[in-house]
Amino acid sequence: MNKKRFITTTVVVLALAGLIYLQVRTWRKFEWRKFAAATEGANYFLIGVGVALIFLAYYLRAVRWKILLRPVRQTSSLRLLAPTVIGFTATALLGRPGEFIRPYAIARREGLTMASQMAVWTVERIFDVGAFGVIMAVNILLAEPQLRGLPGFQHSTHMFLGIQMSAFMMFKLAGFIILGGVAVAALVAFAIHRNPGRSAGLAERMLRPLSKKLAHGVAQRVHAFGEGLNTLHDFKSFVQLTGVSLLIWLVIGLAYVAVTHAYIDPKLSSMTLSSTLFLTAGSVAGGLLQLPMVGGGSQLATISILKNIFGIQPEIATSCGMMLWLVTFMSIIPIGLVMAHRERVSFMKLEAESIVEEEKAVEKIG
């Protein structure tokens, strides 16, 4: 482990430990028997449906990557499925460093450069964030009365920029800020797409007074992103990518519905797609803090929202939050290990090779 990764891991571990400590402090009367009863009494058929939906989402991600590859390589979704599953398994096992494995594995399989697939990966992330932002904004508009009536939003106010606001209004504001950010990002992406070199130069000149190294690094990333946008070669592809991206998040939301309905708790078993999309938002935000194998932020955020916003008992919220994490993040591991064995690949070797190739790709762009 190099010095940079050691420092990063240490910071994440300390942050996660702090979050767990704060969470546990509020549960001094936590009843483990109730937690066990809730977990054992869950409907595992519905949990299996949730797993199946998550697997469908992985297949849809392979479909999306196929569309992104269309200008340079004609391939099939099934051909991309194995490296996709192996890549997400690596992320579950290794944490954030494992994310480079998916573009690297696809580059090897299709005979493409790592730089080109890192660009595709970047564009894919833009579509993910954009689709999720649109879904959340639409969800807030259409289901405002239902969301506003959640227990955690009742009689709860906070100060924001000197203005007294209800908890729901803060959530609503955050949703539209995300949507606004997506719109701005789309405009910036369009400008970069038109002239990657000029955009990279502008970014470097703006950041040079702060740090020459930072300015050069950002310029490289901007140029790579601009090259990656060449995967959008026509309006038809844009529409297809948008549709698939929206469908991916809706499928994930339905997986949340299946898992919450697996519990006999009336508040969980009556959750709608609108409610679970709100829960998904918390999970995504918490997922920014993730450790190899143990996750972290995603579980804590989900459990906290179930308890504090939906008013679910701590023991049941903990059981459901952990089950959602197992279904949405960890269920891919068994099939991923089988595929990795069939492909005769080593996750640790792939991780090392992918990081080296990613660094080479950035240097090449610069």
- As a whole number of angstroms, the distance between CA 126 and CA 129 comes to 5
| Residue 159, beta-bridge partner list | 164
Structure tokens at 295: 């996750």
Phi, psi of 157 (to 5 degrees): -130, 155
Q: What is the distance between the alpha carbons of residues 366 and 363, in angstroms, rounded to a whole number?
A: 5
Could you tell me if 274 and 146 are in contact, meaning their C-beta atoms sit under 8 angstroms apart? Answer: yes
Q: How far apart are CA 285 and CA 276, in angstroms?
A: 14
Flag whether 3 is in a domain: no
For helices 114-142 and 167-194, give the axis angle rounded to 10 degrees: 140
pTM: 0.80
Cβ count near 23 (within 10 Å): 16
pLDDT at res. 161: 61
State residue 67's pLDDT score. Answer: 93
- pLDDT for 287 equals 55
Predicted pLDDT of residue 162: 61
Residue 293 per-residue DSSP state: T
CB 249 within 8 A of CB 238: no
Would you state the pLDDT for residue 294? 45
- Please, which residues bridge with residue 158 across strands? 165
pLDDT of residue 322: 85
Own/partner long-range contacts of 33-37 (Cβ < 8 Å, ≥24 apart): 34/313, 34/315, 34/316, 35/315, 35/316, 35/318, 35/319
- Domain carrying residue 144: 42-365
pLDDT of residue 364: 54
b/e map 119-158, b = 16+ CB within 10 Å: bbbbbbebbbbbbbbbbbbebbeebeeebbebebbeeeee
- In 3D space, the residue among 366, 123, 353, 128 whose CA is nearest the CA of residue 252 turns out to be 128
Domain membership flag for residue 245: yes
pLDDT at 64: 95
Position 148 scores a pLDDT of: 77
Q: How many domains does the chain have?
A: 1
Whether 13 is in a domain gets the answer no
Whether 123 is in a domain gets the answer: yes
User: For residues 328 and 260, what is the distance between their CA atoms, to the nearest angstrom?
Assistant: 12
DSSP designation for 97: G
| Alpha helices per DSSP H over 195-329 | 196-207, 212-228, 235-260, 266-269, 273-286, 297-308, 314-325
Walk along the chain (366 residues) in steps of 10 and give the mean pLDDT of each run.
Answer: 54 57 57 77 94 97 93 90 92 77 88 82 86 85 79 65 67 74 78 80 84 80 72 81 95 96 93 88 63 57 85 88 89 90 74 64 53
Domain annotation covers residue 157: yes
Joined tokens for residue 136:
């959340």
Residue 6 within a domain: no
* Structure token digits, residue 290: 């993730």
pLDDT (0 to 100) of residue 293: 45
Residue 162, helix vs strand vs coil: coil
The alpha-helical segments, DSSP class H, found in the chain are 3-25, 32-40, 44-69, 77-94, 101-110, 114-142, 144-148, 167-194, 196-207, 212-228, 235-260, 266-269, 273-286, 297-308, 314-325, 332-343, 347-365
Q: How far apart are CA 272 and CA 249, in angstroms?
A: 15
104 lies in some domain: yes
Domain membership flag for residue 9: no
Q: Return the closest-CA partner of residue 287 out of 51, 75, 96, 9.
A: 96
DSSP 8-class letter at 42? S
The per-residue pLDDT for range 300-347, each reduced to its tens digit, is 778 888 988 888 988 898 889 889 988 998 899 999 989 888 877 776
